[in-house]
Chain A
Amino acid sequence: MKKDIILAGVGGQGILSIATIIGEAALNQGLRIKQAEVHGMSQRGGDVQSNLRISSEPILSDLIPLKGADIIISLEPMEALRYLPFLAEDGWIVTNSEPFINIPNYPDINDVMAELGKVRNVVSLDVDKIAKDCGNARAANMVLLGAATPYLGMEPEKIEAGIERIFSKKGREVVELNIKALRAGRGVAESK
């Protein structure tokens, strides 16, 4: 088993919490992982990414090679496109459809979506709206993770168990809300 995952977004959006849960689920299944993160200057509203590598075999490079990513999970549509050179030919992009505009020259969102449309395997969804509908605007990450679940090569229960373990300190209610958001995201992906 091998999954190379690029997590993308804008500094402050919280891509690392997605990585943490996938990582937790992977570790619990006895898989190896490497996760390269971005700390420092670009966290201040710049583009950020994390390379998450999961494998049953030893992992060497901390970075995913070009055309190596099985999936790009992005909290922002333009940011998903930034890592296109890393996407494997049969790889998937799972992205939030809502732009995060903190620069004056952000392109026309229609152009961004058109460009995404050219990619072979894409799931795009408004995770912010779905999270709100689930009653927790802050669980947008979990909606996105849910939408990515079918392509992660792990059973959804394993991911849910990861959420349980990571959020259990914060109480039952938080766990439930996040799992609800996760399932909602998965539902959207599966219906597409």
Chain B
Amino acid sequence: MKKKLLLLGDEAIALAAVNAGISGVYAYPGTPSTEITEFIQGNVAAKERGVHSKWCTNEKTAMEAALGVSYVGKRALVCMKHVGMNVAADAFVNSGITGANGGIVVVAADDPSMHSSQNEQDSRFYGKFAFIPVMEPSNQQEAYEMTAYAFELSEKMKTPVLLRVTTRMAHSRAVVEFEDRMESHDEIRIPANPMDWVLLPANSRRRYMEVLALNEELEEMAVGSRFNSYIDGQDKSMGIIACGIAYNYLMENMKGGCKHPVLKISQYPVPRKLVRKMASECKSVLVLEEGQPLLEELLRGLLDNGVKVMGRLSGEVPRTGELNADNIKPALGLGEKPSEKIPQVVVNRPPALCQGCGHRDVYASLNEALKDYPDHRVFSDIGCYTLGALPPFRAIHSCVDMGASITMAKGAADAGLFPAVAVIGDSTFTHSGITGLLDAVNSNASITVVISDNLTTGMTGGQDSAGTGKLERICEAVGVEKEHIRVVVPLAKNMEEIKSVIREELNYKGVSVIIPRRECIQTFNRKARQKKAQQEK
């Protein structure tokens, strides 16, 4: 029986995965991918079936656990934001060589325009790099269907499949129609050739040849894929290739049909046969792709002596940022409609730390304590507390990747900077900070690490944090001296105490860790509301 639901792109993927009979979803929260796992956590059928949905410590542990599921012949979904792919890359790229046993689908949610990210890297490159097929839905219905198909493809071709979405796809709702039926993949089934999974050089060399051959088959499948289509048009002065969601922006401008031939690509490896057809029939080719100009670059090549190619590199389409129906108009030869400007009276409203947030008290005290040290630098990390870079605090001097605060502070201290301070959140610390702290301990770096512990993963909406209740023990086990692990409560009334703790630890020639601990005001309020609602029942 068909059912209909209004779903975010993320939720469509999640529902499809549950219905495809996954044994587990493995993920670390990251905008815009978080809602996939959250949907499965709240899904009744998934709960009844015991689908694993607990958050992982980071994207690499998630990818590896999913590989374990695949190894025993069951299905797993892995979800992360695009930069999470960098963390998972070791496992992901090598999974291209091991191949898959049970179906494994990796969702990378890219964030062009960097709504909530530090870059706009395009995960399709990872697919190409790892010889892993990529699916790129153009709408929520396709997101559902492609997820189901991706599991089949993964098992049939014995390879992980990368499902690439972007912010708009992830965070936009539409009605999705689906068959209300759940597959079962519950038997343990060890790989037919277990040596495929032992990536010793001799095995890897064999596998590499197999993977290269497989890639040609995958390309053939992309040529015939129901998700890729070649729609012919009369006007061959230009052919248009539209990848994933870019197809919608194209068609938004072509209501009633496009006069140019259109190649919609939603399944990779790039179906070269279809691209060649277009290049041979059309005078020029326009490439519309969300993210980086992967396809355009391939088409153009180093020599750039073939058909005229237009896109982000040639300037017809904006070089950076998200596409939309408006900014591709010039490339389509459609005039941009003159529109109103935003009135001058409108000023920017950047995000800010919440009123009542503990990070505020941390920065207020840190700024005070560091006043005496004009040469100080505070290396920070990824999370709500990154907003400490903005007024009124302007308290931090770096934010690079998950975990870089501790290691950059160590490097700066190694190079003679004093005082070198790191500010990292509890979830980021367990994600990628612990190994860096071990480095610092092992070389007795003179750094002060502030683990601002709000007992949750705040920025992404308050998911469980892997280190809750364990931080002091982790630091101690890594080798930080017990007397230099200091816990404080970041409240205005404790300001003097916190400042003096910071001052003491700044002067300690070694690794010290200060843990200001107070629950995130958002999760605190949410729990209070839930409690109140329960009492009213």
Q: Which residues of A contact B (CB under 8 A)?
A: 10-11, 23, 27, 32-47, 51, 59-63, 65-67, 78-79, 81-82, 84-87, 102-107, 111-112, 115
Contact = CB atoms under 8 A, between A and B. Distances in A.
B350 interface: yes
Interface stretch (B91-99, B204-212, B340-348): B340-348
B351 A62 contact: no
A99 to B, nearest CB: 11
Contacts of A104: 391
B173 A23 contact: yes
Given A40-B31, A82-B346, A111-B345, A34 B173 contact: yes
A61 B345 contact: no
B393 to A, nearest CB: 13
Contacts of A38: 115, 171
Contact of B354 (A40, A45, A82, A112): A45
B6 A82 contact: no
A32 B174 CA distance: 8
Interface in B317-356: 324-326, 336-337, 339-343, 345-354
Nearest to A88: B339
B252 interface: yes
B345 A37 contact: no
Given A44-B387, A84-B342, A106-B347, A63 B168 contact: yes
Contacts of B340: 67, 84-85, 87
B174 A59 contact: yes
A39 B34 contact: yes
B35 A39 contact: yes
A37 B8 contact: yes
Contacts of B346: 78, 81-82, 107
B214 interface: no
Contacts of B326: 65-66
Given A85-B339, A106-B347, A62 B248 contact: yes
Interface size class of B (residues with CB under 8 A): 35 or more
A87 B171 CA distance: 22
Interface in B466-488: none
B282 interface: no
Q: Please indicate which of the listed interface residues B31, B326, B459 has the most CB atoms of chain A within 10 Å of its own CB.
A: B326
A44 B520 CA distance: 13
Interface string B232-251: 00000000000001001101
Greatest chain A CB density within 10 A among B248, B346, B460 is at B346
A103 B343 contact: no
Contact of A27 (B6, B35, B172, B345): B6
B174 A33 contact: yes
Contacts of B325: 60-61, 63, 65
Interface of B is mostly: loop
B73 interface: no
Contacts of B460: 40
The 6 A-B residue pairs with the shortest CB-CB distance in the complex, in nearest-first order:
A40-B116, A40-B31, A46-B351, A61-B252, A62-B172, A44-B351
Name the residue in B169, B171, B173, B387 with the highest tally of chain A Cβ atoms < 10 Å from its Cβ. Answer: B173
A187 B384 CA distance: 41
13 contacts: A37-B8, A37-B172, A40-B460, A44-B353, A46-B350, A60-B251, A61-B248, A61-B324, A63-B168, A78-B346, A81-B342, A81-B346, A103-B349
B190 interface: no
Given A27-B175, A44-B352, A61-B248, A103 B347 contact: yes
Nearest to A51: B172
Contacts of A81: 342-343, 345-346
A85 B255 CA distance: 22
B32 interface: yes
Given A47-B348, A103-B349, A107-B347, 14 more contacts: A10-B349, A27-B6, A32-B175, A33-B6, A41-B116, A42-B351, A63-B324, A65-B326, A67-B339, A81-B345, A84-B340, A85-B340, A85-B342, A115-B345
B352 A102 contact: yes
Interface of B: 6, 8, 31-32, 34-35, 115-116, 168-169, 171-175, 245, 248-249, 251-252, 255, 324-326, 336-337, 339-343, 345-354, 384, 387, 391, 459-461
Contacts of B251: 60
A41 B351 contact: yes
Specify which of B31, B251, B339 lies most central, judged by the most chain A CB atoms within 10 Å of its CB.
B339
Contacts of A34: 172-174
Contacts of A43: 351
Centre residue among B248, B336, B343, B347 by max chain A CB count within 10 A: B343
B349 A61 contact: no
A102 B249 CA distance: 35
A18 B163 CA distance: 31
Contacts of B172: 34-37, 51, 62
A40 to B, nearest CB: 3
Nearest to A114: B345
A63 B252 CA distance: 10
A66 to B, nearest CB: 4
Contacts of A46: 349-352
Nearest to A45: B352
Contacts of A62: 168-169, 172, 174, 245, 248
A39 B347 contact: no
A47 to B, nearest CB: 4
Nearest to A170: B533
Given A102-B352, A112-B345, A36 B168 contact: yes
A51 B252 CA distance: 15
Contacts of A82: 342, 346
Contacts of B350: 46, 103
Contacts of B387: 44
A52 to B, nearest CB: 9
Contacts of A23: 6, 173
